[in-house]
Amino acid sequence: MFPRNQGGPFGSREPRSPRNPFFPSSPYKKNASHVILDYFKNNDGRWDIEKISQSIGQVNKIVKQADPLVKQMTSIVKKTKPK
């Protein structure tokens, strides 16, 4: 419909990469570990103990659910592995 160099009805622009919906863009780049740690802080910059404990509980539930599956898969792989 539009020639490649015109960029559509809004003029000539280079295509942008899509934004990550979970980590909003900021004027300065942060290390990924800082972004994850910032999730556990309040708006005033203090650690949110409630959010931390809820997240630990969720991870614990996931591990408890996945553990039997991993054990089953391990035993299946061991049985099918040629000697």
Q: Provide DSSP, 6-71.
A: T-GGG-S-PPPPPPPSSS---SS---HHHHHHHHTB-TTS-B-HHHHHHHHHHHHHHHHHHHHHHH
**Stated length of the chain:** 83
For 63-81, write each residue's pLDDT tens digit.
999 999 999 999 998 888 7
pLDDT value of residue 12: 54
For 12-64, write each residue's pLDDT tens digit.
556 666 666 666 665 566 677 788 888 899 999 999 999 999 999 999 999 99
pLDDT value of residue 79: 86
pLDDT value of residue 3: 54
pLDDT value of residue 56: 97
